[in-house]
Amino acid sequence: MRYAAIVSLLLAGCSSPALPPLALVPKVDLARFMGDWYVIASIPTFIETGAHNAIESYRLDADGTIATTFTFREGGFEGELKRYTPRGFIVEGTGNAVWGMRFVWPIKADYRIAWLSPDYGQVVIGREKRDYVWIMARQPRIPEADYQRLLGFLREQGYDTARLRKVPQQWP
């Protein structure tokens, strides 16, 4: 009994403290949000490691879901073109800032619009777990000062920004 109590205390001490909820944009105008977003940087998922010229495109469908197309070149600017088409499902009562993103039925991945510039030119998409994140913009590059400000925001949200990788973008 005493051994079990000691092990429980040690394990409790090893657990990481719970993070506060990820910041959310209070309201997203879906019509303005739709369209193409260049991926500037991310903590990438396994499918997008080595992505070049990554673009995420959104289209609001008549049924209220978001048709999503994610394209990139694998491993270099001349690499194989990859294309994924998950579907976004808006979570009601979240001001359109929380979606379930379904790549494979019936699983919906956590997708949260954590920060959005007033002109809808830059966005941060995060997850409550802080395991993945995407900085995206309407243009393939953003000013370095903007990038540094967004890194500060991500640190404040509990992200390990050392894991963030800039996505190479090269367009004519």
Residue 17: band (very low, low, confident or very high) from pLDDT cuts 50, 70, 90: low
Q: Is the pLDDT of residue 99 over 50?
A: yes
Q: Is the pLDDT of residue 16 over 80?
A: no
- Cis omega (within 30 of 0) for bond into 106: yes
Residue 69 vs residues 66, 96, 110, 111, 149: alpha-carbon distances, Å: 10, 19, 17, 15, 28
How many other C-beta atoms are found inside a 10 Å radius of the C-beta of residue 53? Answer: 19
Instruction: State the chain's mean pLDDT as an integer.
Output: 90
Tell me what pLDDT residue 13 has.
40
Distance CA 93, CA 25 (A): 12
Q: Is the pLDDT of residue 1 over 50?
A: no
Tell me what pLDDT residue 106 has.
81
Which pLDDT tens digit goes with each residue over 145-165?
999 999 999 999 999 999 999
Tell me what pLDDT residue 172 has.
84
Which pLDDT tens digit goes with each residue over 71-89?
999 999 999 999 999 999 9
Helix (H) or strand (E) holding 28: none
pTM over 0.85: yes
Tell me what pLDDT residue 20 has.
86
List the domains of the chain with CATH numbers.
Answer: 19-166 (2.40.128.20)
